Structure 1
Amino acid sequence: NHITQTPELLRRYPLEDHKDFALPPDVIFFCQPEGCINTGHQRTGFQQLTSFVFTLTEKDSNRQRF
């Protein structure tokens, strides 16, 4: 028993884009490429809540972007 939802960006830091790098809107698929999958136990309906944190860096310079 599971439900797949389209991922979405709920919060970001910094709140505004850097002058030299805008946060791409499809970054959500970098974080959750298979979508958000919710699973629960059928008997109790209990769902375990988890979170996922990532750091996006520039590949060539290792400069942290977000």
Structure 2
Amino acid sequence: MPSIQFDRSARVLRLVIVMQLGLCVFLLADIANAVRGYETFAVSVGRVGGGLTAVGALVVLLAGTPDGSADGPAE
């Protein structure tokens, strides 16, 4: 059975990975826009989706609990 500390660090690691994936989608959409030279619906969806994913993961990551842990109090 994993320890509580391991569960918290694994959760934080997953949130960081999700945030980075959101940033990658956002940047790939921006690169697609630069290559094409004009805005398309797919680029807009990529920017919005990637940006919201990255910001959402960052908010959840930084929200945590008042004691600084990623999860609630240990049971």
TM-score in terms of structure 2 length: 0.23
Higher percent of residues as helix = 2
Higher percent of residues as strand = 1
TM-score in terms of structure 1 length: 0.24
Q: Which structure has the greater CA radius of gyration?
A: 2
